[in-house]
Structure 1
Amino acid sequence: MILKNIPDNILSDFLYIKNILKSSTSRAYIVGGAVRDYFLDMPITDLDIEVYGITKFQFERLMEQIGAIGVGKSFFVYKYNSIDISLPRVETKVGVGHKAFDVEVAYDEIVGASRRDFTMNALMVNIFDGQLLDFFDGLSDIKNKKIKIINKIKFAEDSLRVLRAVQFSARFGFKIDKKCVEVLKEIPLDDLSSDRIFLEFQKLFLGKHLHYALFYLLKLDIAKKLLNLELLFIDFLKIYKLFKLNYQNFDIRVYEYYFLYILSKELNIDIFDICRKLKLPNHYKNIYKLQPNIFIEDRLNLAILALEMPIYLYLENYHEDIQKIAKEMSIYDEKLTIIIDENIIKSLNLSGSELGKKIKELKIEKIKEKFGFNITKE
């Protein structure tokens, strides 16, 4: 069933592991995101296999046999290229933080599945006979585009799951079940490291349903807890519509930067303050530093801006007119190169900022000549 969606480079490893396991157990399953993504008709990029019906000693010997690398031995997790292989486990919270868990092996499939965060992630497919195990109606929730919690008490033990709910909503266009919303709102986020927060926000930023992301960041008080940010309804509605109507025009090369750019611009708040609060990597700040302080949409000023960067880096390019103009002028994908003769530069007898200013003026004159601008109109 699920095999047809597994890419060839992973399939060969999977078949090898399947062949190794078949002499030891008939209860090994593909679990988690790969099964969910199969039913969403999305590409599968990695696999998680859980192995039941063998002892820890047998499992470790098998992993040594195939040369799998232990990436979380205390959690019984090994990696073989793009495939994670593990024993099913039960985790009990014993302290603060995402590592403060006691871990024991689970010997029953329903117990193993019950540790998952959401019903859509608790599906299991037997690697030998293709049987689907769906203890919590996850397949129905996928079809109905719903995010539901399996066990609200166990769920609250890992606060990262609150952010996971939002990024799943942003990526898949799923709505979070109303009962789950109340549970999620009550979970504090102050035990999360900046690295874990960023990884979930990065997935959120890349989602096609950014209007859902905005809604749940506010609805679940995440924006307030992490950014000290609250919105008036009129502002929320405006930004919600911007995301919903324009995401298809976002350039894929800079897609992850639009969410915070549009949010900060429409609310007139400091985008670099948000970057600091979320401790985002420098590449976010570098892109935001490129953005002009004023909205540019006319041909002349787009050409002048293109002296500094190709217009695909200009985060107002989701406006169709801007994209169209920039592509017609061949400045969308590449910077505009205007060369001033060295002899002219020497004859100016200027230096420093004065020289730079004069060179830019000369380049603008050449831009006007190149594109035939009527100076009085432009």
Structure 2
Amino acid sequence: MKLSPYEKLPSEAARELRVVETFFRTRYPDVKLYLVGGAVRDMVMGRDAYDLDIECFGIEPEPFDEAMRQLGVKGVGKSFFVYKYGSHIDIALPRIERKVGEGHRGFAVSLARDTKEASRRRDFTMNALMLDLQTGEVVDHWGGLEDIRRRLIRVVDAGKFVEDSLRVLRAMQFSARLKFRIEPKSRDLMRSMALDDLTPERVFWEFEKMFNAPWLHYGLFAMLDLRIGEKLMNLTADRAQFIRMARHMAKARRLEEGAMRPYYFLFILSSDLKRSALRLCEAIHTPNIYKKILVFQKRVPRRITDRFLGGLALRFALRQWLGIYADDVYARCRRLGIYHHPFDPGIRPAQLLEEGYSGKALGEELRRRQLDAVRRQFARD
């Protein structure tokens, strides 16, 4: 299979790639450049690619570092620098990683001499594809092209895979982002892996990618099937509960307000399983903004009346309520005029001040009259 990377790149990324290619072609013609990782996967799938990882074969570390100095870029990392060029490109030597210590930094790194050796360290076959930038040929040592065709997430090398438990969470978020299933042997391997060595930051990063993905219900299935929810959140669900949540997540994606997108997954878990949203947030180490938004939200009640919706609309326009997916709530809110705008009961604190209310009594009377207005306006249940 042949690809032209430039067909799927934004203009700035394409410009940066041409500069890098021209630099090596003119100054280091014996060096072979390969585009690797997720960008190749996305190009094969017909998706736009934004972040490009390039590996340089046929050059030793010291000459490579000198080449990077000539290119005018700086490296990041303690060994086997990854060099960042512009806003879109990382340039590195191909490497072999071997687990020697605890955590995601406990790896010994050495130079890989061929493409198969270099690609073995990748997590999934779809991410182990390599694109020869000189010929346009896609190098596929592990059956990644066929797995993409079958929409399948499959582990490259079981021995390498278990060295980093974060890869289990990556399978979950890839499933939600790409609408891929997880291959059974890979699923069994991931189920067997402990997740208690992950740092809070790494856990949330992967969940955040899932929260913003288009197919939340695929991520939900992977989270439950791989026992991620059980291990990190003490959370399980039976078949009926899963089907209910999956339907809600699929519907939420069709109706959501973009700004609220990251919060639907945890809201639906909390609402449908009657779990504390705050504790779910704490379990996966979300930023405080998640806690503030989710604690402020009202769960979906068993029976949703117009009066309930009107009372909720005293606080905000209901396009901001995460329960908008439930039943026919979306259509009802639009009909009631409280989807784009909160409900205004027409009662002002100044009016109550003139009547002699103050302090706590003012707040209580204001709330009472607001609720009376809700009852009158939304009497139909």
TM-score computed with the length of structure 1 as normaliser: 0.91
Q: Does 1:64 align with 2:69?
A: yes
Match of 2:10 in 1: 7
Post-superposition offset of 1:127: 1.9
Query: Could you tell which deviates more after superposition, 241-250 or 5-14?
Result: 241-250
Post-superposition offset of 1:359: 2.2
Report the AA paired with residue 270 of structure 1.
S
Mapping 1:95-110, distance limit 5 Å: 95-110=101-116
Post-superposition offset of 1:358: 2.0
Mapping 1:150-161, distance limit 5 Å: 150-161=156-167
CA contact (8 A) 1:287 1:313 kept: no
Match of 2:321 in 1: 314
- Which of the numbers 143, 146, 150 marks the counterpart of 1:140? 146
CA contact (8 A) 1:249 1:320 kept: no
Q: What secondary structure sits across from 1:74 in the alignment?
A: coil
- Which of the numbers 349, 352, 372 marks the counterpart of 1:345? 352
Distance 1:344 1:66, change over 3 A: same
Post-superposition offset of 1:251: 3.0
Question: Can you list the C-alpha shifts for 1:301-339, whole angstroms capped at 9, x where unaligned?
Answer: 434322312212211111363222333455334444566
Distance 1:117 1:359, change over 3 A: same
Q: Does 1:44 align with 2:49?
A: yes
Distance 1:241 1:328, change over 3 A: closer
Q: Distance in 2 between matches of 1:135 and 1:269?
A: 45
Post-superposition offset of 1:166: 1.1
Q: Distance in 1 between matches of 2:214 and 2:70?
A: 42
Match of 2:20 in 1: 17
Query: Could you tell which deviates more after superposition, 304-313 or 283-292?
Result: 304-313
Match of 2:215 in 1: 209
Post-superposition offset of 1:26: 4.5
Q: What secondary structure sits across from 2:155 in the alignment?
A: coil
- Which of the numbers 6, 30, 38 marks the counterpart of 2:35? 30
Distance 1:185 1:346, change over 3 A: same
CA contact (8 A) 2:31 2:59 kept: no
Match of 1:82 in 2: 88
Q: Distance in 1 between matches of 2:311 and 2:66?
A: 65
Q: Distance in 2 between matches of 1:281 and 1:236?
A: 26
Distance 1:140 1:340, change over 3 A: same
Report the AA paired with residue 224 of structure 1.
E
- Which of the numbers 312, 332, 338 marks the counterpart of 2:339? 332
Post-superposition offset of 1:210: 2.4
Post-superposition offset of 1:82: 1.9
Post-superposition offset of 1:89: 0.6
Post-superposition offset of 1:124: 0.9
- Structure 1: gaps of 5 or more residues: none
Q: What secondary structure sits across from 1:279 in the alignment?
A: coil
Match of 1:178 in 2: 184
Mapping 1:245-324, distance limit 5 Å: 246-293=252-299, 295=301, 297-319=304-326, 321-324=328-331
Q: What secondary structure sits across from 2:109 in the alignment?
A: strand
TM-score computed with the length of structure 2 as normaliser: 0.90
Q: Does 1:193 align with 2:199?
A: yes
- Which of the numbers 209, 230, 236 marks the counterpart of 1:230? 236
Distance 1:302 1:135, change over 3 A: same
Aligned residues: 374
Identity among equivalent positions (%) equals 36
Q: Distance in 2 between matches of 1:294 and 1:187?
A: 35
Query: Could you tell which deviates more after superposition, 158-167 or 200-209?
Result: 200-209
Question: Can you list the C-alpha shifts for 1:137-170, whole angstroms capped at 9, x where unaligned?
Answer: 1011001001111110011011100110111111
Question: Can you list the C-alpha shifts for 1:107-141, whole angstroms capped at 9, x where unaligned?
Answer: 21111111111100011112222121111110110
Post-superposition offset of 1:64: 1.7
CA contact (8 A) 2:318 2:324 kept: yes
Distance 1:15 1:339, change over 3 A: farther
> Over the residues paired in the alignment, what is the CA RMSD in angstroms?
2.3
Q: What secondary structure sits across from 1:75 in the alignment?
A: coil
